């Protein structure tokens, strides 16, 4: 993962709105504007000098610092060059566009983010909750989700009419 800098440099020449941010002690990553994230991922996947054909992981971090509070992180890997880079973007409750047509792996991963953070992904083929039941309220990994409260130890009753 040490030589990922050169791939980040190539990537930042491909689309607008890409800044390379250091994240010590980890590796630097590319922070991409929400407007160009889809275009950037497209370059990552199909450009010959990048060719990141494996989506190793995709997840969200709730920074809880204003309008665009969710950081979506993509860890990409190329089977050909063995390079691994991190691409990030920020978004709010409105969500971003799906990457599941580029990497089918994103299908499950985006459903997980949707379930845990409530970030919707436009054009996702099957955007449902993945862990929690469909009629569950709230998104557990958001920072404001209560750890305890007056109802936190109540039994969860499934509404058979709705389900």
Q: Which stretch binds another protein (CB under 8 A): 7-15, 36-44, 102-110, 150-158?
A: 102-110
Residue closer to another protein (CB basis): 13 or 24 = 24
**Which of 4, 40, 86, 89 lies at the binding interface for another protein (CB under 8 A)?**
86
Among 8, 87, 89, 107, binds another protein (CB under 8 A): 107
Cα separation, 139 vs 40, in Å, equals 28
**Counting contacts by CB under 8 A, is residue 109 touching another protein?**
yes
SS3 84: strand
60 pairs with which residues across the strands?
72
**Exposed/middle/buried for 32, CB within 10 Å: 0-12, 13-18, 19+?**
buried
Rounded distance between C-alpha atoms, residue 87 and residue 40, angstroms? 9
Q: Which is nearer to another protein, 16 or 78 (CB)?
A: 78
Secondary structure (3-state) at 72 = strand
Q: How far is the CB of 105 from another protein (least distance, A)?
A: 3
Q: Which of 59, 68, 97, 120 binds another protein (CB under 8 A)?
A: 59
């Amino acid at each position: 993962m040490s030589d990922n800098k050169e791939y980040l440099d190539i990537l930042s020449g491909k689309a607008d709105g890409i800044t390379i941010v250091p994240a010590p002690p980890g590796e630097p990553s590319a922070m991409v504007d929400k407007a160009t994230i889809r275009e950037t991922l497209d370059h990552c996947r199909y450009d010959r000098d990048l060719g990141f054909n494996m989506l190793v992981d995709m997840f969200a971090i709730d920074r809880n610092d204003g309008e665009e509070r969710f950081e979506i992180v993509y860890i990409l890997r190329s089977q050909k060059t063995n390079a691994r880079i991190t691409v990030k973007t920020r978004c709010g409750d409105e969500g971003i566009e799906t990457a599941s047509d580029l990497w089918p792996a994103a299908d499950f991963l985006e459903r997980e983010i949707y379930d845990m953070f409530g970030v919707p992904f436009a054009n996702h083929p099957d955007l449902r909750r993945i862990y929690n039941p469909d009629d569950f309220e709230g998104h557990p990994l958001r920072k404001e989700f209560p750890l305890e409260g007056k109802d936190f130890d109540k039994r969860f009753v499934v509404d058979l009419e709705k389900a």
